Homo-oligomer: A and B are copies of this chain.
């Protein structure tokens, strides 16, 4: 019933490293506003930023057995993505598992459930995006799958997909699209740098984006006072 897929294709390391420092909002825009996880997935400390290839792990509610199985499938540069098979906020993950992931070069954890030992995780700067912080422990009784496609935060994650996460949330880039999205993200950053200068200099978005005509065309009216309408 439960399987571990041992051979997954990952995003090339040079592509992953290209995403360092590129924000989730930028990546999300660069792939046409797709792939964003729901905003209840929050980092346990800020600021933070990671990019890596997804290793996916299903877990039963209240049961973290499969995380131990998933750790063995992780490599340098991976991000572990854990989803319970039904909603659960238990603390599936703590500092021992973080040591284990770190020893393998894993960049961070995204978990649609709870984590614990957050003081230690924060001190050690091991990045985690979770739905909750909760000291409630888990059992080790029930099997589930590792490295099958999962839905996390309302978004499909296939094993080997690129995961980028920062203070704004978590976005998933399909492996095949990673190079193209990286290029578009960089283009976007360049364009934003220019816009940032213009905004900082006091230019208005109305003018930078040339919105005044379309606003008027849709019927926007300017009046001195509410009574003037």
Contacts and interface: CB of A to CB of B under 8 A. Distances in A.
Interface of A: 1-7, 23-25, 28-29, 32-33, 36, 38-39, 42, 46-47, 49, 60-63, 65, 67-69, 71-72, 85-91, 94-97, 99-100, 102-104, 114, 116-119, 122-123, 132-137, 139-143, 148-149, 151, 154-156, 166-169, 171, 192, 195-196, 199-206, 209, 211, 215, 218-226, 229
Given A90-B61, A103-B202, A118-B168, A39 B134 contact: yes
Given A119-B47, A221-B4, A226-B148, A97 B28 contact: no
B199 A100 contact: yes
Contacts of A155: 151
Contacts of A196: 95-96, 99
Contact of A117 (B23, B156, B171): B23
Contacts of A206: 68-69, 71-72
Contacts of A91: 25, 168
Contact of A39 (B61, B63, B133): B133
Contact of A88 (B1, B6, B87, B225): B87
Contacts of A122: 46-47, 167
The 7 residue pairs across chains A and B that have the minimum distance between CB atoms: A61-B62, A68-B205, A99-B199, A39-B134, A135-B168, A141-B141, A61-B61
